[in-house]
Chains A and B, each alone.
Chain A
């Protein structure tokens, strides 16, 4: 039973990774599996609980529907993003053709329209996604630049994700900037653990961040003024914590540094999650985790093998979506409809090559990108009704 609990915690851990990188569907699968192993796992429940909100349709839309979705909002319509998130706090666009679409956390949201824009990710939990985005904003926003609570709660936002309820927190828990693609999750991720969760893998992998407190102009600690200005570290003396003692002699240096060990643990956790996802046939999610693991340990043979396996499978799946690779796709939208799509420049480049004379195989050759990336973009464009299969 203890093994199950530990395993469940690892799954939740990997699930959170996926969710942070935008793969909500993959994350949901992992949370569900974690709950099977440990029905009491609060974190899994918590994340899945938000999944109960009805997911907005993100399927293929007709060209006219696309145009409607991307019609500019009427003058005076308040921009959801401008109220909810600071402009620098956007999550980079993520592309998931197997299940979903181009996803950008800061994609233009149109609260007045019930339709989900073409570029929105296929959300198992719209609110959870937004909450994740909001959480990332917390990590990146400086303490003084905390987003003001919106005057109205946007639809789908689940206040219970935030401590204290009732909407986003008044102040960010951690002030350090964090890039989810390149670095470990910030301490802020664990800054709001539920009571009793201290023993799970998530909490042990990423120790709780110190509780932030308002800026104390009289702070005496050197830390207060340098590395974390404005944040006072509170020490809980009731739990046996003591002030630092003087150290006599040099500290012992172990053969494996704690950083290396932590990285190895992290890689192992990511690979376990990846294997689980492969079993669940979620190769996109698996690829995300494997890629992350590879950045931590580039020479790891197992990672390379898993990556190759997932890439191959994913490519087969994506090519299957394209159909006959010798067919000639055509653009189904007009120029003035295309500009309202939410594409990045790479997708824009591929789209620009589709002129009714080139086949899918030709596009793989001219794109200048890896075959997998091109296949992803093409599958996405097909799913969204931007191009035909030929």
Chain B
């Protein structure tokens, strides 16, 4: 990238971890965070000290401060509170999930109620800051990835999150598409490829048909509650049970101990991807009830044991692969390539199982944790340069249609249709003398109407009275380049028509979003002001120390002088005033005092040089 070109980034906003990448000199590279890590945990918290935490630091206290630590918020973003997925999640999430005004999901974090886009924005903002630290200048443009199964609402919520974070979201792309892009399949491969994505919290298996710059996700499936954390939990349980047997203490009941167990289990699991065995060493993990010396946990975990503990989890992944391939009517042998995504795919047993099922070696060369972000960076680069040969068309993520008699759906626009596009289809009345028709716009892949997402509805009235099937109504779907869907219905005979414009909602109204953005701007100003106050306080403290050290020097150099006596007296008064200014902690007071002390220090230095002091 040319040095003067505005930097653009690709973001893999994951359920468990997030990664940011860019294209540097023609190659996609991951931007490490300020702690030097490629992965930033998608965790947000308000610590008991009131401090806002994002990333690894928030993850460290996820168990000890469970109520005010939000993780896996991606499972909730853009969903309705009343949806099955959210209701199921309520039972397992330790943080406070609440219902918003529009049946959207809100999270109570300390004394604040935040929307899901705001939570995601905190993570995106952290990644943005990492990128800015990398480039040394502001970053404004990004491509963000989402799972292939995300509907328009979820995608819009992700876009809103980007906006709140101060990013212009150039495009939202599917994670498997990004993974394929990272391998350059848009250019070199034409045919079907599979993307096996086993991350920290979710498992996705997708089959793509690649060709001519179009990445058609022909089937996707998986389990949003199957990931690396389940593997960790098996290790945790094994460690805790053994400890309970030996010492009669249940470590799972002690939050501090459980936090350490969790960290250690994850570490051990990662180590066993390369080694055959690892030591779990947790000194002082528990103090027995009634006092006494703290107990240590020391245990050896072998790769064989880990595989034994997690055998069924790996098997479940393969069962899901089978289901998705069957749905796509694709046999493993038909696949051109196989891509592994997600940290858990580094586990040797997972790799073996995948190889056995797909009967081929997976693609190598790109880190499975980073591949999605790298693909997003490639796409971001392509969207901001004219010389890029990667063409990725915007497509509808899910099918669009209308509800028809019997409670079914008639799809007018299939998923993965490139946009902009328009389609019209004729419908007739289903009852005799029917004068009105209700048009319900649905999104989804299910044939049963109520299993799809209702995007909007309207009624066309004034139809002429006639036996059923005699009145024709043309329904037209228009999807523009921004993904905005317009639906109209027109009575062919009378010319009467009604229409509706559907904009995907991420849960926040435009007014709410504007309010959040305004608050952000105010907070930014406040932060800048705080920084100024802090800076001025530091300078004032330094001046106070300097003046305090000059006073005895002056007294020593010219102790008999009345002038010295007066000067010292004034210096003491100035120091007292400075102390008061520090207590007020306001910029005008600090500035006033700073100026006064600067003058006094200058005066003292002048006097000292005159009296022959240092």
Binary per-residue interface labels of chain B (282-300) against chain A in the complex, 1 for a CB within 8 Å, 0 otherwise? 1111110011111010000
Which stretch in A54-62, A213-221, A361-369 binds the other chain? A361-369
- Chain A minimum-CB-distance residue to B53: A365
* A115: interface (CB < 8 Å): no
Docked-complex contact B60 and A349, CB < 8 angstroms: no
B375-411 contacts to A, CB under 8 A, are: none
Interface string of A338-363 (1 = CB under 8 A from B): 11011111111101110001100110
The reply to whether B291 and A368 form a contact with Cβ atoms under 8 Å apart is no
A352 vs B264: C-alpha distance when bound (angstroms): 10
B333 sits at the interface (CB 8 A): no
**Which residues of the other chain, A, contact B290 by a CB distance below 8 angstroms?**
88
Residue numbers in A under 8 Å from B292 (CB-CB): 87, 90, 106
Decide if B57 touches A365 in the complex (CB within 8 Å). yes
- How many chain A residues touch B (CB < 8 A): the figure is 34
Inter-chain CA distance A368–B254, complex, in Å, is 12
Query: Does the CB pair B61–A366 fall under 8 Å?
Result: yes
Chain B residue contacts of A351, Cβ below 8 A? 283-284
Q: Which residue of B has the minimal Cβ distance to A343?
A: B284
Q: Complex Cα distance A92/B293, Å?
A: 10
Q: State how many angstroms separate the Cβ of B61 from the closest Cβ of chain A.
A: 4
Q: Is A112 an interface residue, CB under 8 A from the partner? A: no
Q: Does A93 contact B (CB under 8 A)?
A: yes
- Chain B's interface size range is 20 to 34
Q: Which residue in A339, A345, A348, A364 is a CB contact (below 8 Å) of B49?
A: A364
Looking at the assembled complex, report how far the CB atom of B50 sits from the nearest CB atom of chain A, in whole angstroms: 9
- Verify if A279 is at the interface (C-beta below 8 Å from B): no
The stretch of B127-135, B255-263, B473-481 in contact with A is B255-263
Does A335 make an interface contact (CB < 8 A)?
yes
B65 contacts across to A, CB distance below 8 A: 368
Decide: A352 near B57, CB < 8 A? Known: A344-B287, A344-B294, A345-B254. no
Q: Report the nearest A residue to B255, measured CB to CB.
A: A368
B278 at the interface (CB under 8 A from A): no
Known contacts being A342-B293, A368-B65, is A362 close to B287, with CB within 8 Å? no
CB distance from A57 to the nearest CB of B (A): 23
User: Residue on A with the closest CB to B288?
Assistant: A345
Q: Tell whether A275 is near chain B: CB-to-CB under 8 Å.
A: no
* Residue with the highest number of chain B CB atoms closer than 10 Å, among A93, A341, A348: A348
Known: A357-B35, A358-B57, A371-B49. A348 touches B294 (CB 8 A): yes
Residues 305-348 of A at the B interface (beta carbon under 8 Å): 335, 338-339, 341-348
**Contacts A357-B56, A366-B61; is A93 near B291 (CB within 8 Å)?**
yes
Tell me the nearest residue of chain A to B284, going by C-beta.
A348
- Measured in the bound complex, the distance between the Cα atoms of B291 and A94 in whole Å is 11
Determine how close the nearest CB of chain B comes to the CB of A168; give it in whole angstroms: 21
Shortest beta-carbon distance from B239 to chain A in Å: 14
Q: Contact between B57 and A345 (Cβ–Cβ < 8 Å)?
A: no
Contact with A along B43-73 (1 / 0, CB 8 A): 0000111010100110011001100000000
Distance to closest chain B CB from A332 (angstroms): 15
Task: Tell me the smallest distance from the CB of A348 to a CB of chain B, in Å.
Answer: 3
Q: Is the CB of B294 within 8 A of A343?
A: yes
Residues of A within 8 A of B36 (CB): 357
Chain A residues whose C-beta falls within 8 Å of the C-beta of B282 in the assembled complex? 348, 352
Partner of B61, one of A92, A365, A371: A365
Q: Is B435 an interface residue (CB 8 A)?
A: no
The closest CB in chain A to the CB of B48 belongs to A368
Chain A, Cβ-Cβ closest to B298: A339
B432 to chain A, nearest CB (A): 70
Check: B113 CB closer than 8 A to any chain A CB.
no
Would you call A348 and B283 a contact (CB within 8 A)? yes
Chain B, Cβ-Cβ closest to A108:
B293
Q: Are B296 and A345 in contact (CB under 8 A)?
A: no
Q: Is B520 part of the contact surface with A, judged by Cβ < 8 Å?
A: no
Q: Which of A104, A345, A353, A366 lies in contact with B284, CB distance below 8 A? A: A345
Cβ distance A312 to chain B, nearest Cβ, rounded Å? 14
Are A90 and B291 CB-contacts (below 8 A) given A348-B285, A351-B284? yes
Question: In the complex, what residues of B have CB within 8 A of residue A366's CB?
Answer: 47, 53, 57, 60-61, 64
Nearest-neighbour CB distance to chain B for A330, whole angstroms, equals 15
Q: From residue B110, how far is it (CB to closest CB) to chain A in Å?
A: 12
- Please give, as numbers and ranges, the residues of chain A lying within 8 Å of B254 by CB-CB distance: 345
B461 on interface, CB distance cutoff 8 Å: no
Q: Are A349's CB and B35's CB within 8 A? A: no
B530 to chain A, nearest CB (A): 15
Give, as a whole number of angstroms, the nearest-CB distance from B528 to chain A. 19
Say if the beta carbon of B281 comes within 8 Å of chain A.
yes
Tell me, in angstroms, the Cα distance from A169 to B287 when the chains sit together: 31
Which residues 263-315 of B sit at the A interface, judged by CB distance below 8 A? 263, 281-287, 290-294, 296
Assuming the contacts A365-B51, A366-B60, A368-B255, asked whether A345 and B291 have C-beta atoms less than 8 A apart, the reply is no
Q: How far is the CB of A161 from chain B (nearest CB, A)?
A: 24
Find chain B residues with CB under 8 A from A344 CB: 284, 287, 294
Shortest beta-carbon distance from A353 to chain B in Å: 6
Contact of A338 with B57 in the complex, beta carbons under 8 Å: no
The contact of B57 among A88, A104, A362, A368, by CB within 8 Å, is: A362
Q: How far is the CA of A344 from the CA of B286 in the complex (A)?
A: 7
B contact residues around A352 at 8 Å (CB): 260, 263, 282-283
Chain B 6-40 against A: per-residue CB contact (8 Å), 1 yes, 0 no? Answer: 00000000000000000000000000000110000
Name the residue among A342, A362, A368 with the largest chain B CB count within 10 angstroms.
Answer: A368
Q: Convert B63-98 into 0s and 1s, putting 1 for each residue whose CB lies closer than 8 angstroms to a CB of A.
A: 011000000000000000000000000000000000
* A-B interface, 5 closest residue pairs, ranked by CB to CB distance from nearest: A348-B284, A368-B64, A365-B47, A366-B61, A349-B256
Q: List 17 A-B contacts (CB under 8 A).
A: A90-B292, A104-B293, A335-B281, A343-B294, A344-B284, A344-B287, A345-B284, A348-B260, A348-B285, A351-B284, A352-B282, A364-B47, A365-B51, A366-B61, A367-B64, A368-B64, A370-B48
Q: Supply 13 further A-B pairs (C-beta < 8 A) apart from A335-B281, A345-B256, A352-B263.
A: A335-B283, A348-B260, A348-B283, A348-B284, A351-B284, A358-B57, A364-B49, A365-B47, A365-B49, A365-B51, A366-B47, A366-B57, A368-B48
User: Which A residues contact B (CB, under 8 angstroms)?
Assistant: 87-88, 90, 92-93, 104, 106, 335, 338-339, 341-349, 351-353, 357-358, 361-362, 364-371
